[in-house]
Amino acid sequence: MQRLTLLFIFFPFFLSAQSPYEIDRNKETWILGLGVATYLNGFILEKRLDPLSLDDILDLDRSSLSRFDRNATFKFSTKGDQVNDILLYSSFSLPLFFLQAHKSRNDFGKILTLYGETLLTTSGLTYLTKRLAKRARPFVYNELAAISDKQKVSARFSFFSRHTAVTASNCFFAAKVFSDYYPDSKLKPYVWVTASIVPALSGFFRVQAGKHFYSDVVVGYSLGAAVGFLIPHIHKVKKDKRISFYPAPTGIRITWNIR
Amino acid sequence: MEYPLITFDYFIIKKTYSMKENLLIVTILLLLGSCEKINLPPITNLTVNIEADSISFAIIGDFGEAGDPAFKVSELVKSWSPDFVVTLGDNNYDRGELSTFQENIGQYYCDFIYNPDAPADCQCNGMATLEAQNKFFPTLGNHDQQNANYSQPYLAAFTLPGKETYYSFRWGPAEFFTVNSGKNGEADCCGSEQASWLKTALLQSKAKFKVVYFHHPPYSSSNHGNFTNMQWPFEEWGASIVLSGHSHLYERVNKIDTDFYYVVNGLGGRKKIYGCNVNPVDEIDLEHFCYNETHGAIKVEANNDFMKLSFIAIDDPDAKIDEIILFD
């Protein structure tokens, strides 16, 4: 069964019949390539990144932060952190719904491919941006937090929130795929509302834990939601292919077919 | 159906609203909740290092509730003409807001406070301002952080040395060290930034007397009991005495056959006074004295040879309820 599942993952496009999605080798190569490239760049940058020194930490000043972000520097909760992990790891299981649902069951390999791209894109962008921004986490400003935690390289990965971005990406991906397979379902509004709330909760608890500023989670939420929505969207079978989006070497290629 | 009142941290809405309106208001307030306009002054390298052979100062705790007890304690303190005042937290009930600063603190202690960085309506205009020398050294209590902006109003209202949430200052033969014991006394020893700082600062200090103070008491027999998270190795680090508040009574605790004291003073003005021995401290290892009859403050006199702390109640300013003498 494990072999069969792997087969589904790597050869998904043999399985679809009446699928709302189509897979294009060219498009998938670009998306996966960009995802891997962001990871590699992030990895190279991390190798060059030093942790904050004790003097750097003691020089940090809350008053230099915007009022919007400053409150997070007073928060420090390990419980908030635990709730976040539960939300994040639970959201990874969402695609399994489509393995069980009868309309998407035969398309599961394709869905997994799209999910893999979604996860890779969100995580890759988060991974790279954190290492470019090098923003100190809010707890680094907090006198109650341990110096040893503040002197880890990861204490500089505040912008933007990976937990929130990946949770948003998972939830919005699941909601989008559900909507595409069941466009007439009465459950759609509930699915979208739930998909919106869960990553917001994740963001809230990340701030409570002192791991992120509000701006980190707002950006993480927005990016995760956008990727989770757009990856399935750009793979939809176009009934009227008047406008199409493709990744291109210089960015995204938009084609408008005038008939 | 209508609901008469919504409260959200700073905001109190006294009109009646429908459920939908309530939800809309709460949503807007949630979005705005973290945006109260408090401008924090940047951290400066302010230090306080006053040369003097002998000093006198007052210690007050849990005083920030306007009323008769707070007034009488402030009059008692002023009658001693202390060089400065040390507070043990809960400076501004109930929520530590800037709007209650003058009512709870300023009207009683502005003569000691020099806070040029504070918002205009919180600035003091007393003797300390005339001399441009702050003489009021508070520590953060739980009630100073119970608002939507945590300790920001406190940081904005006072002009203190170092990082302000924790700091030290030197006055004559004594050096004073304060840390933030957290909202619930959760500040943990020993790896935290402030604990690392305290250990280093105490070990490096050359002062005759090293006074450590913060809000939540390591040992107390009152309603709140001991805050075990705050039982840091102060003695090992070189402290001379540990002062705290939070419990609205006066207590002195010391290990038998030692002269290292933990003193609790929460009788600075908060009207409600707590009971002694509600949660008895360990009588086998510790000596314990408790007083809770009325409000008061600690008067301290120190020189290069000794430091004498006397708890004095408002109803009899000439009598000493308790006295501790530390020798160099």
What's the total number of domains in chain A? 1
Q: How many residue pairs bridge chain A and chain B with CB atoms within 8 Å of each other?
A: 62
Q: Identify the domain containing residue A195 by its residue range.
A: 25-256
**Residue B168 contacts A, CB cutoff 8 Å:** no
* Out of A17-31, A73-87, A239-253, B180-194, least confident range: A239-253
Q: With beta carbons under 8 A apart, name residues in chain A contacting B37.
A: 67
For A218, which residue in chain B has the nearest alpha carbon?
A: B31
pLDDT band at B39 (very low <50, low <70, confident <90, very high): confident
pLDDT band at A241 (very low <50, low <70, confident <90, very high): low
Nearest to B180 among A62, A143, A147 (CB): A143
pLDDT band at B4 (very low <50, low <70, confident <90, very high): very low
Q: What is the pLDDT of residues B79-136, one digit of tens each?
A: 999 999 999 999 999 999 999 999 999 999 999 999 999 999 999 999 999 999 999 9
Domain B39-327, classified CATH 3.30.470.20, yes or no: no
In a domain, residue A183? The reply is yes
Structure tokens at A217: 């989670």
* Percent of chain B residues past pLDDT 90, beyond the cut: 77
Q: With beta carbons under 8 A apart, name residues in chain B contacting A62.
A: 40, 155
> What is the model's pLDDT at position A17?
46
State the alpha helices, DSSP H only, in chain B.
19-32, 68-79, 101, 107-109, 127-131, 152-157, 193-204, 234-237
In a domain, residue A202? The reply is yes
Q: What is the distance in angstroms between the Cα of A118 and the nearest Cα belonging to chain B? A: 29
Q: What is the pLDDT of residues A10-32, one digit of tens each?
A: 333 334 447 899 999 999 999 99
Q: What is the distance in angstroms between the Cα of B170 and the nearest Cα belonging to chain A? A: 20
The domain limits of chain B are 1-35, 39-327
Q: With beta carbons under 8 A apart, name residues in chain B contacting A136.
A: none
> What is the model's pLDDT at position A225?
97
**Residue A197 contacts B, CB cutoff 8 Å:** no
| Alpha-carbon span A221 to A199, nearest angstrom | 7
**Residue A68 contacts B, CB cutoff 8 Å:** yes
At B139, is the secondary structure helix, strand, or coil? coil
> What is the model's pLDDT at position B290?
96
Structure tokens at A222: 């927005």
Nearest to B150 among A58, A63, A74 (CB): A74
* Out of A109-113, B193-197, B285-289, B291-295, least confident range: B285-289
Q: What is the pLDDT of residues A189-204, one digit of tens each?
A: 999 999 999 999 999 9
| Alpha-carbon span B54 to B56, nearest angstrom | 7
| Alpha-carbon span A138 to B113, nearest angstrom | 30
* Out of A85-89, B93-97, B244-248, least confident range: A85-89
pLDDT band at B188 (very low <50, low <70, confident <90, very high): confident
In a domain, residue A200? The reply is yes
**Residue B157 contacts A, CB cutoff 8 Å:** no
Measured CA distances, A199 to A71, A90, A111 (Å): 20, 11, 21
Q: What's the whole-number average pLDDT of chain A?
A: 85
Record: contact B186-A144, CB cut-off 8 A: yes
Task: Please give the backbone phi and psi of residue B12, each rounded to the nearest 5 degrees, phi first.
Answer: -125, 120
Q: What is the pLDDT of residues A32-68, one digit of tens each?
A: 999 999 989 988 998 889 999 999 999 999 999 998 9
- The domain that holds A204 is classified in CATH as 1.20.144
Query: In this structure, are strands B261-265 and B250-255 parallel, antiparallel, or unpaired?
Result: antiparallel
pLDDT, mean of residues B216-222:
95
Q: With beta carbons under 8 A apart, name residues in chain B contacting A146.
A: 191-193
Q: Are B227 and B217 in contact (CB under 8 A)?
A: yes
Which of A56, A61, A62 is the best substitution to test chain B (most B C-beta atoms within 10 A)?
A62
Record: contact B148-A71, CB cut-off 8 A: yes
Q: With beta carbons under 8 A apart, name residues in chain B contacting A139.
A: none
Record: contact A63-B186, CB cut-off 8 A: no
Which of A60, A79, A144 is the best substitution to test chain B (most B C-beta atoms within 10 A)?
A144
- Per-residue burial over B189-221, b if 16 or more Cβ lie within 10 Å, else e, is beebbbbbbbbebbeebebbbbbbbbbbbbbbb
Which of A60, A74, A204 is the best substitution to test chain B (most B C-beta atoms within 10 A)?
A74
Q: With beta carbons under 8 A apart, name residues in chain A contacting B36.
A: 67
Record: contact A143-B155, CB cut-off 8 A: no
> What is the model's pLDDT at position A243?
59
Record: contact A145-B193, CB cut-off 8 A: yes
Q: What is the distance in angstroms between the Cα of B193 and the nearest Cα belonging to chain A? A: 5
Query: For residue B35, is the peptide bond before it cis, meaning its omega torsion is within 30 degrees of 0?
Result: no
* Out of A1-15, A111-125, A209-223, least confident range: A1-15
Q: What is the distance in angstroms between the Cα of B39 and the nearest Cα belonging to chain A? A: 7
Structure tokens at B309: 């702390």
Record: contact B193-A142, CB cut-off 8 A: yes
Range with the largest mean pLDDT of A125-129, B1-5, B34-38 = A125-129
pTM of the model as a whole: 0.84
